[in-house]
Structure 1
Amino acid sequence: MTQPAKITEIAPGCFNLRAPFTILAGIVDIGTHMSFIKLSSGKFVLLSTVQLDAQAKKEVHDLTKGGELIEAVIGTNPFHTLAFEQFYELYPNAPFYGTPRHIRKYKEIPWAGSVTDPAVLTRWAPELALELTQGGEFDDPQPESTNHFAGVVAIHLPSKTMVVDDCFRVSKNPGIIERGIFGRRDMEVSFHWSLYNDALYKTPSAVQTFHDWVLHLTKTYDFDNLSTAHGGILIGGAKAELVLGLEKARVALKKMAVARGGDLVY
């Protein structure tokens, strides 16, 4: 019996691969993802990596013609690191770009550059826009066990698709706790829980910086779809949902800003 494809096309030129990722000693599978952005040249920019089983290896191999079409592999979240060694073994000739933590952690990979370099962030413009989360620590987030918020947000303009790991989340089939306590709807866009704890700098201006950056994304880029690592994929209406998510968070964000000696001006 033929298994369903693991790599799916979210929108023309934007492909996504979902993979298991467990927490709490393997009890809870929160899932994760990697994405394949097809450029007008026919080559691919890969966003993050996941552990590949036999079927996924074959699909990646077929999509990229054995790696020939891989123009870049980009580490998009400092803590999404576990699959880079495996992927480098499979495709050692591909250029790898990492976050500072990737580069410190895996010295055996000959990194082509850091995503903190503006030249890397703009390398594939105007087709692919890359933005760093603003308002929090990106180089060395602490505490490492919980502060996984900051990362690279990618917007593939031709397909109108935003790809993000941890800072934004799409609630897919929310359970009783999400629905009852947080009032989540199916396919609602919200923010990672660490936003209200360690994610942002504890300075008077950090909350405003983050808030304004989210608004900047919605005003600058034309996107309609959103793929998140540990949530779902929203096809259609993603920008409007992100705006609603920010509006829903504003009361809590303002309270946090005031507690840190600042304010939040909408």
Structure 2
Amino acid sequence: MTDKIYDLGAGFWNVRGSFLKDGITDMGGQCSLIKLESGRFIFLDSYALTGDVREQVMALTNDGKDVEAVLNVHPYHTVQCAQMAKDFPQATFYGSERHRKQVPEVQWSDDLVESDAVAQRYPELEFAVPEGMYYIAPEESVHTGSLLVYHPASRSLHVDDTFEMPPSKLVNMVQLKINFQMTTKQALKDEPNAGKIYCDWVAGLAHKWRDTSNFCVAHSGLVKFEMGEFEKALLATVDAARPALEDS
């Protein structure tokens, strides 16, 4: 997969690229670059930038010197953090507890990426951690939980694994359907009503971020929604999933 950068307006760029699972299957990967009101920049997620995309990012960010932070928003996306730290050595790196354990060579901030301290530091963004679901699941193979980030100015939502789009090249033309990650049921907390809590959280998110236009999904690509379509699609997904999830 060739790396591409998409200018989504209002100081938000989404980078789409490759991630080889087991060195064979290209699952696709992403990071997003955001220009803050201060004129400086932050990344959402780590990605090893190469070629023309790297040149474009460096041109935007004063050869990387204006990148102040990298927010690693998925506890299980750790493979490219070390390279990102080498590319932007002056940036503050935020991650989860799992990032710290998996990539100890990176100098991580004391503030966890999902903390209120980080959210307050970046008022241009809105953050959400799934409710009723483990952010870092006890079972290592369950990668559903992540920190979701919405950029109201560009109406862009950056999400890793928690939500997905169907793996169809025609998705933009024939349907706008959102999927839950396949391990969603296993990711629910071992607590009463966890399924209902999660479904209610998703429905609330659909209403809160109803204006989402640019849906940046880690392994599914960049999808465009018309006004009102995101809310409709996400509510349809949670309504369909409720019986199974609330029965867990």
The normalised TM-score by structure 1 is 0.82
CA contact (8 A) 1:226 1:233 kept: yes
**Counterpart amino acid of 2:245?**
L
Q: Distance in 2 between matches of 1:244 and 1:69?
A: 41
Q: Are positions 1:170 and 2:165 aligned together?
A: yes
Specify the alignment match of 2:234 in structure 1: 242
1:254 lines up with 2:227 in the alignment: no
CA distance in 1, matches of 2:119, 2:45: 15
User: Which among 3, 6, 29 is matched to residue 4 of structure 2?
Assistant: 6
Map of 2:219 onto structure 1: 230
> Within 5 Å, which residues of 2 pair with 1:1-266?
6-23=4-21, 25-112=22-109, 113-125=111-123, 127-138=124-135, 140-144=136-140, 146-173=141-168, 186-196=175-185, 198-221=186-209, 222-236=211-225, 237-256=229-248
In 1, the alpha carbon distance for the partners of 2:8 and 2:167 equals 16
Q: Which amino acid aligns with 2:19?
A: F
> Helix, strand or coil for the counterpart of 2:54?
helix
Specify the alignment match of 1:182 in structure 2.
none
- Name structure 2 gaps, 5 residues minimum: none
Counterpart AA for 1:167: T
Name the larger-Rg structure: 1
Identity of aligned residues (%): 30
Q: For the residues of structure 1 that align with 2:10 and 2:176, how far apart are their CA atoms?
A: 21
Residue deviations 1:40-87, cap 9 Å, x none? 222222100122223332222122111222121001101101111011
Pairwise CA distance, 1:149: 0.7
In structure 2, relative to structure 1, the CA distance for the partners of 1:207 and 1:142 (3 Å cut) is same
Deviant stretches of 4+, over 4 Å: none
Secondary structure in structure 2 of the residue aligned to 1:76? coil
Write the letter of the residue equivalent to 1:10: L
Contact 1:173 1:186 (C-alpha < 8 Å) held by counterparts: no
Query: Using the alignment, how far apart are the partners of 1:56 and 1:224 within structure 2?
Result: 23
The 8 Å contact of residues 3 and 18 in structure 2, kept in 1 or not, is answered as no
List per-residue Cα deviations over 1:91-145 (Å, max 9, x = no partner): 11011111111122223322222123211123212x201111222222x42321x
Q: Is the 8 A contact 2:68 2:91 kept in 1?
A: yes
Q: Equivalent residue of 1:193, what SS?
A: coil
Taking a change above 3 Å as real, the CA distance of residues 60 and 148 of structure 1, as seen in their structure-2 partners, is same
Q: CA offsets, 1:153-205, max 9 Å, x none?
A: 00001111111001001224169xxx9xxxxx644111100012x21113222
8 A contact 1:47–1:75 mirrored in 2: yes
> What secondary structure does 2:38 align onto?
coil
The CA distance in 2 between the partners of 1:200 and 1:53, in whole Å, is 37
Counterpart Cα distance in 1 of 2:31 and 2:9: 15
The size of the alignment, in residue pairs, is 240
2: CA distance, partners of 1:21 / 1:119? 30
Alpha carbons 1:174, 1:186 under 8 Å: kept? no
Give SS of 2:68's match. strand
Structure 1 76/5 Cα, relative in aligned 2: closer, same or farther at 3 Å? closer
Q: Using the alignment, how far apart are the partners of 1:28 and 1:8 within structure 2?
A: 24
Coordinate RMSD, CA, aligned:
2.2
Q: Distance in 2 between matches of 1:205 and 1:121?
A: 28
- Given that residues 70 and 94 in structure 2 are in contact (C-alpha distance below 8 angstroms), is that contact kept between their aligned partners in structure 1? yes
Normalising by structure 2, we get a TM-score of 0.88
- The C-alpha deviation readout for 1:3-47, integer Å capped at 9, x for no partner, is x97211134322111111122x33322211101122222222210
